Structure 1
């Protein structure tokens, strides 16, 4: 009997065949983006935001301020009717752009703990951290609200915060569709004592509806104790950069997105060179308040209890010798505020909330600053009375 050579290639799966592993990876990607989309959609529903607004990558986000007044309508017969003039001033507050994130799980971790624990559980943690990225930026803007004040009790601080933002919108000839309030977790429990409360959660935000006169009250440890923040619901907008942009796909960067929301792109793959299960997420998401002066920041007791905000600064060599160029990662400045700076040879200048910086040097937020290399440049954002509301320090990188 003759012998036949067995050609194993005849039994190999054709190139491009979708196997079980591919299906499981795709299912994991779909589950990740779908659950992420549902989470943020739940928050949008609470805030009354019908849809997110698509922005191009790198788009400027601008805050607005309306100035003007309604002229009297008591006009005599034949007299000219005066114009009621309103001016909308816009200022670039920040930019929205695609952010790239990556998480890896080693082959050893999967072998030791099993796939479900090593991969699925860490996917959930990854998703939570991505949600926190969005909420952290939103909290920073809320804390930048310029409608500041102080009340003697926590309940009065809530009531006045709601009243102030409604009054502000009324003066802007807008009607608040509702008011959202943010308070510290411990303040709520101090007020309620042993009473049971039921909290709901959306996109990592814990909240109650129809509480103490507010349409929705968010409870968070991100808000300092003794502080109440409020803004009209229709002052909040939501922006996103499409992670499924066809230009990315052309470059070979194809991410799974939720066809319903499309707020985040996710991709998982095995990196054989390192024996790691890699997962990648890209997103450009922002919750954003259009009017900073329609955000009430009310402290309980002394106004000195308000927290000094932080400016994130970076210094690089300037154009000319002795100069350093300073940039801010995020511009958290109200249009009514200004920048001041002070140079100290050996250490950062101490700044406290409400500190008078009238005699400090003025800075426009762009111009290079002359400062000896290695010295400290402390920059303060101050209100119209030259009281410090935010500060940051950076070491000069002056060109030699």
Structure 2
């Protein structure tokens, strides 16, 4: 007598177990990464939702207000820029019956499933690392240690300016830079689920050790953990099932759907995965990208002086424009041009907004310096003053 209709066969149980194992391992890896980063619960998005990177800008008005005078408002705004649209991404792989015969099930199917999972995971993290490289808190330091320190300090300072709390900072560095810096020192590197990282190193909650393809040597990237968000599209949406596309998922947050089947037309074992997963840093101006240059040189500014609007004032123009919106101009007027060295701290020099006239005397020398957010000199130039008589 033939088997009854809809009887669950041994092969059905094996296939379902394979699907459950795949999605469970994938979600376990991402849960582990979330634990390392300190990310809270992932945020569910609908397909087509547009992710926007944000940055804050504004000018603090002078607080020197006379008695009874009206206090000017300081205007600060948060601007947005489209980053990516949430989409469902589709992947597939197939293993032939000949490969299973020649190499056995474990090698032909299970090991390729492992590599399939790893590549899917790497695709998401790779896009995240590329996005981090576009962070706008940029500067150059002369040592790896200083680059780490300044990366952490700059993102913490940025979040303070935004009146947001920082519970921890995550760093991303090239693994060869770490070993070169530490030399033969004993360090504890954790390696789990494809991620290499160090905990509680030089004030960072976590520092990820990445390859040359993920982050170039001589670069340190950092951002607060509060700035990192994981967005996802649920692959188990009812509309997909109504269309006849049913995928195995796992957990409360369905980050990936997986389905396997045998294709008798081609005698191959097929595997299909769909996911809509984006690891994202919300504020692009709270990502520090620090470059290490052991022999940096001071850049050159072309400074021009013409008569200003009021008597005794000069109008200054500088070329090229600032390298970074977070950089500041400092200046000094003296009998002779002032010599400045790269990285010199010019906090006590006068600040110039790049527009206002400056009071000076014709024939004096004005030295203008572009500094980073910590007042370290990056580029400088001088000119003879021409003031309105």
For the pair 1:227 / 2:219, whether they are aligned, the reply is: yes
8 Å CA contact 2:65, 2:71 repeated in 1: yes
The separation in 1 between residues aligned to 2:287 and 2:198, in whole angstroms, is: 19
- Confirm or deny: 8 A CA contact 2:142 2:296 kept in the other structure: no
Q: Note if 1:184 corresponds to 2:188.
A: no
Q: Does residue 16 of structure 1 match 2:6?
A: yes
Matched, 1:282 2:277: no
Specify whether residues 89 and 203 from structure 1 end up closer, same or farther in structure 2 by C-alpha distance, changes over 3 A only: farther
Deviation at 1:291, TM superposition (A): 1.1
Aligned to 1:7: none
For 1:31 and 1:208, how far apart are their aligned partners in 2? Answer: 28
Report whether the alignment pairs 1:296 with 2:304.
no
CA offset digits 1:252-303 (Å, max 9, x no partner)? 0000000333100000000000000000000011110111111111111169
1:92 alignment counterpart: 82
- Unaligned stretches of 5+ in structure 1? 1-10, 306-334, 337-400
3-state secondary structure, aligned to 1:125: helix
Equivalent in 18, 22, 36 of residue 28 of structure 1 = 18
> What is the aligned partner in structure 1 of residue 328 from structure 2?
none
Please tell me whether the aligned partners of residues 143 and 294 of structure 2 are also in contact (alpha carbons under 8 angstroms): no
Q: Residues of 2 paired with 1:100 and 1:218: CA distance?
A: 28
Q: Displacement of 1:198 after TM fit? A: 2.3
Q: Does 1:46 align with 2:36?
A: yes
Q: Say whether 1:117 aligns with 2:134.
A: no
CA contact under 8 A between 2:92 and 2:273: conserved in structure 1?
yes
Tell me if the contact between 2:234 and 2:253 (Cα under 8 Å) persists in the aligned partners.
no
User: How far did residue 160 of structure 1 move?
Assistant: 0.6
Residues 131 and 203, structure 1, Cα contact 8 Å, conserved in 2: no
The answer as to whether partners of 2:56 and 2:285 remain within 8 angstroms in 1 is no
The answer for unaligned runs of 5 or more in structure 2 is 298-323, 326-389
Once the two structures are TM-superposed, the CA of residue 196 in structure 1 deviates from its matched residue by 3.0
Distance 1:56 1:271 in 2: 32
Structure 2 CA distance for aligned equivalents of residues 99 and 26 of structure 1: 22
From 230, 252, 264, the equivalent of 1:260 is: 252
Distance 1:290 1:107, change over 3 A: same
Shift of 1:147: 1.1
**Which stretch has the larger CA shift, 42-51 or 247-256?**
42-51
Cα displacement string for residues 315-357 of structure 1 (whole angstroms, at most 9, x for unaligned residues): xxxxxxxxxxxxxxxxxxxx97xxxxxxxxxxxxxxxxxxxxx
Distance 1:292 1:302, change over 3 A: farther
Partners of 1:227 and 1:77 in 2: how far apart?
Answer: 50
Moved more, 71-80 or 183-192: 71-80
Rg (Cα) greater in structure: 2
- TM-score when normalising by structure 2: 0.72
Of the structure 1 ranges 56-65 and 275-284, higher mean CA displacement relative to structure 2 is found in: 56-65
| Secondary structure at 1:135 match in 2 | helix
Question: Aligned to 1:262, what secondary structure does the other structure show?
Answer: coil
Q: Secondary structure at the match of 2:7?
A: coil
How far does the alpha carbon of each residue in 1:114-156 deviate from its partner, in whole angstroms, 9 at most, with x for none?
Answer: 1111111111010000001101100110111111110011100
Q: Tell me the residue number matched to 1:131.
A: 121
- Local SS of the residue matching 1:231: strand
Task: Give the Cα separation in 1 of the matches to 2:206 and 2:59.
Answer: 31
SS of 1:191's partner is helix
After superposition, residues 316-395 of structure 1 pair within 5 angstroms as none
Deviations 1:171-195 (A, max 9, x none): 1121222111111111111111122
Contact 1:55 1:240 in 2 (8 A): yes
1:45-81 Cα shifts (integer Å, max 9, x gaps)? 1111121101111221101111236678898998766
Cα distance between partner residues in 1 of 2:284 and 2:254: 28
Take 2:194 and 2:49, find their aligned partners in 1: how far apart are those partners? 26
Contact 2:135 2:289 in 1 (8 A): yes
